[in-house]
Amino acid sequence: MSVLVQIFEVQNPEEAVALAQLGVDHIGVLVGDGRFPRELSPAHAKAIFAAVPPIAKRVALSLSERSEAVAGIIEATRPDILQLQAGVEDFSVEMTRALKEAFPGMPIMRAIPVIDET
């Protein structure tokens, strides 16, 4: 079994290049409109993604619960993968399906919390 290494909240192109050279598989950037701490603008994310060598995947991480905002991130940054972090109750399966239809071929990952309620 191989291990996939994914690092998020890369802040600049130099970090992205260094991480790829170390063998990181997925280079992630938190992208948004500034509503959440540490979000980078789509333009900043695009500059980081431009520096990522082809040996690594470029991952846009979104915390937004607005499908039009997420679509804008995809259009502006053209990541290899989109990761949705908004809760399923805020960004529904139907909204995710609509994104898949709008951006065929774009892999979408979801973060799903697992809570022990015992």
Each residue's pLDDT tens digit, 39-86 = 999 999 999 999 999 999 999 999 999 999 999 999 999 999 999 998
Evaluate whether 42 touches 67 at the Cβ level (below 8 Å).
no
Structure tokens at 14: 């130099």
Mean per-residue pLDDT of the chain: 94
Tell me the residue ranges of DSSP E strands in the chain: 6-7, 26-30, 57-62, 81-84, 108-110
21 pLDDT higher than 80: yes
Catalogue all structural domains in the chain, each as residue range(s) with its CATH number.
6-110 (3.20.20.70)
Helices (H), 22-63: 42-51
